[in-house]
Homo-oligomer: A and B are copies of this chain.
Amino acid sequence: MAGNSFGKIFKLSTFGESHGPAIGGIIDGCPSGLLLNQELIRYEMKRRRPGQSALSTPRIEADDYEILSGVYEGKTLGTPIGFIIRNQDYRPSDYEALKDVYRPSHADFTYQEKYGFRDHRGGGRSSARETASWVFAGSVARQLLPLTEIMAFVSAVGPVTFSGSYEEGDRNKIDSSPVRCPDEGSSAKMIAFIESLKKSGDSTGGVITCVIRNCPAGLGEPVFRKLQSKLAAACLSINAAHGFEYGSGFAGASGKGSEFNDAFRVSDGKVITATNHSGGIQGGISNGMDIYFRVAFKPVSTISMEQQTVNSSGENVILKASGRHDPCVVPRAVPVVEALAALTLADLMLEHRCSRL
């Protein structure tokens, strides 16, 4: 497994199993001289951590991080920023019954096939606990782009969808909703749906919309490090993510060029596009307009109902899980999507410094 790094210039490398002593990582390539705002980091970490509302997993993790290097007198040194987040509320005994059973649609079977050996406790390395490190690093990345706003929200929970566009993202409305949907009516229906699933022991998926405002033009490196490629690769690293689209996305496939082309216009001496079906990206490079994309998540794999599966002896068995879980992780994935977008942009922003003589 040599795929635990993200980024080329601003590079995050991570480690950690869900029920080992700690998770953490190293940010290499953060420029020197950044006065790190730790309030912002703690705010983002808090948004992601479990146990925030009655809707999510009861696992309690303070998610207190410790910065071990790379910051001196409050400022980044330009040297690698090492950080760890101790695992606290881990209960390996919860997972004893799962030692020899492959949970359906989890990574248990594939890790066993790939490595011949695995840490079965809470999914080990495949757990979404990993995303705490991403949020930490994303929050540092974000501070390199102080003028750029990165905002994600829940636009669907199971069959309940919020049909508003990316332009309706509003940080206050999002954060005041337990499901992080900016629309109150949709929000209420999403909550009701999640509560009904909780009772039945079932789960669901959803969709997150992310918009990036005030992103400078020029980010993205053709042809294999296009902005959309890096965003998609990042978002599909999130557990349960099964789809990514930007701009006109899948819907645009059915239209015509005469409807979907974005006419350039000059406005106040600045080149803009009259519409934004391109989603702020053309030829793999940001064009200065709003960047927006959507990420689809499949239903959570952990459910409390009985399921058919196989054990490591190759026998068909019945599984009834008892571990803690969220019926819908999509609201908690909102800060994760933002973090990955920030990591992607910070990396490409630094790389872009090398584009011209």
**CB-based contact A119/B77 at 8 Å:** yes
**CB-based contact A16/B357 at 8 Å:** no
A279 on interface, CB distance cutoff 8 Å: yes
Alpha-carbon distance between A355 and B9 when the two chains are bound, in angstroms = 10
Alpha-carbon distance between A89 and B288 when the two chains are bound, in angstroms = 35
Alpha-carbon distance between A254 and B298 when the two chains are bound, in angstroms = 8
Q: Which residue from B105, B221, B263 sits with its C-beta under 8 Å from A308?
A: B263
A257 on interface, CB distance cutoff 8 Å: yes
Please, which residue of chain B has its CB at the minimum distance from the CB of A68?
B22
- Of the listed stretches A162-170, A179-187, A227-235, chain B binds A227-235
**CB-based contact B107/A285 at 8 Å:** yes
A-B contact pairs, 12 of them (CB 8 A): A2-B225, A3-B226, A5-B5, A5-B224, A15-B79, A106-B282, A126-B283, A232-B233, A233-B233, A256-B299, A257-B303, A261-B307
Please, which residue of chain B has its CB at the minimum distance from the CB of A315?
B266
Alpha-carbon distance between A6 and B221 when the two chains are bound, in angstroms = 12
Q: Which residues in chain A, 64-88, are within 8 Å of chain B measured between CB atoms?
A: 66, 68-70, 72, 75-82, 84
Q: How many chain-A residues does the 8 Å CB contact rule pick out? A: 154
**CB-based contact A26/B26 at 8 Å:** yes
Q: Which residue from B144, B236, B355 sits with its C-beta under 8 Å from A114?
A: B355
Alpha-carbon distance between A109 and B259 when the two chains are bound, in angstroms = 20
| A310 in contact with B207 given A24-B82, A115-B355, A257-B299 (CB within 8 Å) | no
Q: Whole-angstrom distance from the CB of A169 to the nearest CB of chain B?
A: 19
**CB-based contact B247/A246 at 8 Å:** no
Q: Whole-angstrom distance from the CB of A148 to the nearest CB of chain B?
A: 15
**CB-based contact A296/B84 at 8 Å:** no
A4 on interface, CB distance cutoff 8 Å: yes
Q: Whole-angstrom distance from the CB of A27 to the nearest CB of chain B?
A: 9
Binary CB contact string for chain A from 249 to 271 against chain B (1 if under 8 A, 0 otherwise): 11011111111111111100101
Q: Whole-angstrom distance from the CB of A354 to the nearest CB of chain B?
A: 4
Binary CB contact string for chain A from 4 to 39 against chain B (1 if under 8 A, 0 otherwise): 111011110111110011111110110111100000
Q: Whole-angstrom distance from the CB of A299 to the nearest CB of chain B?
A: 4
- Of the listed stretches A43-51, A53-61, A237-245, chain B binds A237-245
Supplied contacts A23-B82, A105-B277, A229-B232, 8 more A-B pairs, CB within 8 Å? A1-B355, A3-B226, A17-B77, A22-B82, A105-B261, A110-B284, A110-B286, A253-B297
A316 on interface, CB distance cutoff 8 Å: yes
**CB-based contact B256/A197 at 8 Å:** yes
Q: Whole-angstrom distance from the CB of A255 to the nearest CB of chain B?
A: 6
A287: chain B residues within 8 A (beta carbon): 109-110, 113
Alpha-carbon distance between A237 and B309 when the two chains are bound, in angstroms = 38
Alpha-carbon distance between A263 and B319 when the two chains are bound, in angstroms = 10
**CB-based contact B28/A114 at 8 Å:** no
| A249 in contact with B242 given A11-B2, A22-B69 (CB within 8 Å) | yes
Alpha-carbon distance between A163 and B272 when the two chains are bound, in angstroms = 38
Q: Whole-angstrom distance from the CB of A31 to the nearest CB of chain B?
A: 5
Alpha-carbon distance between A296 and B215 when the two chains are bound, in angstroms = 25
A150 on interface, CB distance cutoff 8 Å: no
Q: Which residue from B116, B244, B255 sits with its C-beta under 8 Å from A244?
A: B244
